[in-house]
Amino acid sequence: MPVWIWILIAGLAAAAVAWRLGGVWWKYRGKRAIMCPENVRPAGVVVDAAHASATALGGTPELRLSSCSRWPERAGCGQECLAQIHASPEDCLMRNIVARRLEGKKCANCGQVFGNISWAGSPPALLGADKKSVEWQAIPAERIFEVLETSVPVCFACHTTLTMVREHPELVTDRHRTRT
């Protein structure tokens, strides 16, 4: 058999392995909000996606946590919460929790309806009772459900504007105020 066929076969095999490992890494990356089985309260966790990816070639990836909001106090736990992640990895991913809660809702400031969210370029924010907006990434995973219940969504543009007005009022001209 010619050498180029062997090279092609090796290249296809390497691509298949890379596809599998990359897919597992993508599936298990990111912050997650789970219910801790020990105290039945929300906790924020991060799965060791690199380890899951490295163990995926043999079949089912082996999951373990790389961080938990209950550590270091409870660092020796049995990580029973991994069963929740195994059962439904997409449902506990923070960005998916936020996307589901914001779907079809309107920005509290401008009224724009939230549709397909651009997570990389212009992520949404949440406006609390204190009238301060905060990007969803800044919210600890263990508090995401509480914050989503007690705040209203704002789009990225309004969040940027509200932050500018709050942090640098000397640079803002309010053209809507009445003149005296």
Model pTM? 0.78
Q: Could you write out the DSSP letters of every residue in 125-137?
A: EEE-TTS-EEEGG
Q: Could you give the CA distance from residue 20 to residue 68 in angstroms, rounded to a whole number? A: 26
pLDDT of residue 107: 92
Beta strands in the chain (DSSP E): 31-35, 42-47, 65-68, 125-127, 133-135, 152-154
For residue 53, the one-letter residue type is: S
Classify residue 113 by its DSSP letter: B
pLDDT 10s digits, 113-172: 988 887 777 889 999 888 888 988 889 999 999 999 999 999 999 999 888 888 888 888
Residue 131: left if φ>0, alpha if ψ -120 to 50, beta else—which one? left
pLDDT of residue 177: 61
Which distant-in-sequence residues (6+ apart) come within 8 Å of 44 by Cβ? 31, 32, 33, 68, 69, 140, 141, 142, 143, 144
pLDDT of residue 125: 92
Per-residue pLDDT for 24 more than 90?
no
